Amino acid sequence: MIVPMQKVTLFVSSKDQEQAIQQLRRLGTLHIHHIQPPTSESVNAIEKKLAQTEKALGILKTFRTTSPTSTSKAFNAQEIVTQSLNLFEKRNLLVTQLAEEREKQAWFERWGNINRADLLTLQQHGLYVRLYSADRSFLKKLGSDYLVFIVGQEQSKLYLALVTDAPEQRLELKEEILPADNRDLVDVQIAYLSKEILTIDQTLQDLAQYNSVLENYRASLGKQLEFARVQAGMAEAEQICYLTGFCPTERLPALRELANQECWGYLCTEPDDPAEVPTLLRRPKWLEMVAPIFKFMGTVPGYNEYDISFVFLCFFSVFFAILIGDAGYGLVFLLAGILLRRKLRHAPREPFILLYVLSSALIIWGAITGNWFGFESVARLPILNNLIIEKMNTWSQNSEQVTQFLMFFTFLIGALHLTIGHAINGAKKFPHLSFLAQLGWILVVWCMFFLANTLVLAKPLPAFVVNLLIAGAVLIACFDNYSKGKFLRGIGATIGNLPLNIIGSFGDVVSYLRLFAVGLAGAVVEQSFNSMALGGGLGNLVKIILAILVLLFGHVLNMALCAMSVIVHGIRLNMLEFSNHLGMTWSGHEYQPFKE
């Protein structure tokens, strides 16, 4: 359920502002809603320190962490941050300088040990040496008036030296600029810079042992920043400071008690804007297993929306089973979950419980369809064969009939899923007459179900479907935007988009066919790998080893593809098709109380 909230405004004396914020954080019940932008010099200073700490941690985590020793010099956290950033900045500068020196070194590798001072000496005696690089074809165009020497070459490129006693004589090429330093000095600089970088790296590696100190410092800064933002986000008038926030209704007595004890003024009201209210979900303990899925997706229902955890779990388990479709895979997932749980005893239990439930659903579905690692011989074992429902039998002689039934079954699941969405939506709107529009949509969904069976499975369309569709469309047109005294205006606002919405409803029902299609694709893939592995027989040890390798590779690959299909299709059907019919936009933000 979504926990009801109250909007709370607290009034405190300006001189008691800081103490009041500390008391409020100690209570830890109020989700702060800033009255004004939470900016100040204090906030900016803490944000700067936090950004520097994050950067320092990012730098130090690239170095291998060493354990602190008894002789390690003790630093406070800010010193570690400052030293790390200074060293890293210096290192970047040295790396840039080293790159420049290596470019000079590469130039000397191409041109030889040419000294700028020597060339200047030659110029003083009337002899000029100019350096150029050119393609080999350039020499053919060069006249006999030029004295040119080939200094070096690589592939199609030549390095040329023009020697002349005429200062104005040049080649029609871009002249090479000599490095300011000679070759020996460049080599010395490279050695020096490399040594300095190595020394800095060693120092940073030594500082990396304080990563835990920086992580604690980062957490402390985060708390300080939160405090400073609350303080900056408060408004002040006539020596009175005040702030607003949202508190779960059940925690209001504790907040009132603190306010009375500290002589604060307070005002508790129903929220006037649901978009501002944070969402606090409270599920039964056994249903907490779905929390990791919503956390993975990063979705939170709005305060005035719905907690669909139970419906989501039920249908997601069915989708998971159909999309993967193999009982053998279910056993693998279940066994892997049990072994991991034994190894990771201190990990949260909810993901493992969810894996157990999903694996169990997959085993049941695979058993009734007769699919065990894609082997018919396994499915035909006496005990397992008795579990198969013939209309869903993967190995049935009448495969077309099985296909028809499974497609019908996915349409049925889709219609039920969408019906539940409209029923929940209608129940929330009751007794307002707009709930009748949801009844109309339920009628439309089932009309689309019968139409899908007719168009896809060639089943006859029942005679009552047209009347059912008309009744549903009339209810939607009359009550979807119903407002007392504005009945005709509501009809006008609805009827324009109604045909497209009905067509969209048909598309939503048909989209559940993806469950059958993806499940069938997975079964075909595993059967294909089985044929590849065992088709050549097991006549010798080499064939046995190859068969095992092909089976392992094929089934592991298929499991990975099936897992991806669950994320893409299984979650989509809940979060898009179902949520659209339920009227959910997942526009909420999580309740995060201001606490220590």
- Amino acid (1-letter code) at residue 589: H
Separation of alpha carbons 449 and 460, rounded Å: 12
Tokens of 159: 């390095």
Question: According to the model, what pLDDT value does residue 148 have?
Answer: 86
Per-residue pLDDT of the chain (596 residues; tens, 9 = 90+): 899 999 999 999 999 999 999 999 999 999 999 999 999 999 999 999 999 999 999 999 988 765 554 444 446 899 999 999 999 999 999 999 999 999 999 888 888 888 888 888 888 888 999 999 888 888 878 777 888 888 888 888 888 888 998 888 888 888 888 888 888 899 999 999 999 999 999 999 999 989 999 999 999 999 999 999 999 999 998 889 999 999 999 999 999 999 999 999 999 999 989 999 999 999 999 999 999 999 988 899 999 999 999 999 999 999 999 999 999 999 999 999 999 999 998 899 999 999 999 999 999 999 999 999 999 999 999 899 999 999 999 998 888 999 999 999 999 999 999 999 999 999 988 888 889 999 999 999 999 999 999 999 999 999 999 999 999 999 999 988 887 767 777 788 788 888 999 999 999 999 999 999 999 999 999 999 999 888 877 778 888 899 899 999 999 999 999 989 998 899 889 888 999 899 888 989 999 999 98
Instruction: Using alpha carbons, select from 331, 20, 53 the residue that is nearest to residue 217.
Output: 53
Burial of 205 (0-12, 13-18, 19+ CB in 10 A): middle
Question: According to the model, what pLDDT value does residue 495 have?
Answer: 86
Phi then psi dihedrals of residue 58, to 5 deg: -60, -35
Question: Taking a C-beta distance cutoff of 8 angstroms, is the pair 586, 302 a contact?
Answer: yes
State the DSSP H helix or E strand holding residue 266, giving kind and residue range, or none if neither: strand 265-269
pTM here is 0.79
Q: Could you tell me the CA-to-CA distances from 257 to 1, 246, 315, 562, 592 in Å, in that order?
A: 26, 16, 44, 54, 21
Q: Which residues pair with 128 in a beta bridge?
A: 164
Separation of alpha carbons 350 and 205, rounded Å: 38
Question: According to the model, what pLDDT value does residue 68 have?
Answer: 53
SS (H, E, C) 144-192: CCCCEEEEEEECCEEEEEEEECCCCCCCCCCECCCCCCCHHHHHHHHHH
